[in-house]
Amino acid sequence: MDIPSDAQAFPAPAKLNLDLRITGRRDDGYHNLESIFCLIGLYDTVCLKLRDDKKIILHNPTEGIPCEQDLAYRAALSLQQHTGSCRGVEIWLEKKIPTGGGLGGGSSDAATVLIVLNQWWQCRLTRQQLIDLAVGLGADVPFFLFGQSAFALGIGEQLVKIEIPKQWYVIVKPLVHVSTAKIFSHESLTRNSKPSIMPTFQSLQPFRNDMQAVVFQEYPEVWKAYCELSEYGSALMTGSGACIFLSTDSWQEANNIYQQVSQSYEAYCVEGLDVHPLFQMI
């Protein structure tokens, strides 16, 4: 992929859902969630080049997704339409975050596009205004704009900062793509978890994921990965899957586990991040 030298590169970090509960189904068909979101040191790179016309060009959309449906393209178009900007942009995506894993790569790419173009196009939207705009793009995009560890409510757009101790994570990616729509519409999905009163990192222990049982039922590859990673500690699925992760208190412990599981799986050993690397750009 040829990226011109005058394009600028920006990071788009992945996320984990350390805890995910479904507290009800809404009249519009969406589900009310509660979740702890954590940024992690696994990154896509979003390369951008400013245009003086209104053209938005995504040079390498995700395979199988039409350009106009790619979240990075939609983010730029949404900001342009919302603000009336007469500027454009060229976009290149260097993907390192696996797709279909529940790590939020596409949503993070979109958030990075919004953060940078809000400054480049001199839109001057506040963080909350960007979050409100991003709700129409996808449930995870607001979190990446919020930019720090968060307890999320609603469909993921109501965000409150939460303190998470420093942790390192081992992540494994089974060779399967989980359909989020299929899981949310499954008749066996837990939809009546009790809402939290005063959520903290400690009060929500032990963490769980209400989607996990249904994913295990429908995708035996994810169940197998969960069982194998569980040999090293309390493994959990992130989002609607398919990635399984394990939290540790030290890089050495995480790396030791990674060395074992990476022989059988696409795997990652990453640190948790306190804030988004572009947090100060808003």
How many distinct structural domains can be found in the chain?
Answer: 2
**Residue 20 belongs to domain with CATH number:** 3.30.230.10
Instruction: Among 117, 133, 162, identify where a domain stops.
Output: 162
Residue 259 maps to which CATH number? 3.30.70.890
Pair 119, 230 in one domain: no
Domain end, chosen from 162, 184, 212, is at 162
Q: Which domain holds residue 113?
A: 8-162
Pick the more confident residue, 2 or 246.
246
Read off the pLDDT of residues 99-115 as tens digits, 9 standing for 90 and up: 889 999 999 999 999 99
CB contact at 8 A, 130 and 114:
yes
Q: Are residues 112 and 40 in the same domain?
A: yes
- Residue 213: inside a domain, yes or no? yes
**Is residue 278 domain-resident?**
no
Distance from C-alpha of 222 to C-alpha of 209, rounded to nearest angstrom: 14
User: Cβ atoms within 10 A of the Cβ of 81, count?
Assistant: 10
Residue 142 and residue 139: Cα distance in Å, rounded? 7
133 neighbors 76 (Cβ within 8 angstroms): no
Q: Which residue has the higher pLDDT, 246 or 181?
A: 246
Q: Is residue 277 part of a domain?
A: no
pTM equals 0.95
Q: Any idea which residues carry the catalytic annotation?
A: 15, 140
Q: What is the mean pLDDT of residues 20-32?
A: 80
Beta bridge partners of 246: 170
Give yes or no: residues 25 and 41 share one domain.
yes
**Per-residue confidence (pLDDT) for residue 244, from 0 to 100:** 98
Element (H, E) at 118: helix 105-120
pLDDT at 258: 98
Give the per-residue pLDDT at 24: 79
- How far is 93 from 218, CA to CA, in rounded Å? 31
Position 29 scores a pLDDT of 66
Residue 35 neighbours by CB distance under 10 Å: 28
Contact of 177 with 99, CB cutoff 8 Å: yes
Taking residues 247-257, report their average pLDDT.
98
The answer to whether position 1 is within a domain reads no
Specify the DSSP class assigned to residue 244: E
Q: 3-class DSSP state for residue 142?
A: helix
Q: Last residue of a domain, which of 109, 142, 162?
A: 162
Dist. CA 187–CA 177, nearest whole Å: 20
C-alpha triplet 174, 180, 185: angle, nearest 5°:
130
Residue 2 within a domain:
no
Query: What confidence category does residue 157 fall into, taking pLDDT thresholds of 50, 70 and 90?
Result: confident
Cβ contact 138:70 at 8 Å:
no
Q: What is the pLDDT of residue 247?
A: 97
Residues 57 and 196 in one domain: no
User: Among candidates 12, 18, 13, which has minimal Cα distance to 165?
Assistant: 18
Which amino acids are annotated as binding site for ATP, given as ranges? 98-108
222 & 144 share domain = no
Does any domain span residue 231? yes
Largest CA distance in the chain: 55
The string of pLDDT tens digits covering residues 214-225 is: 999 999 999 999
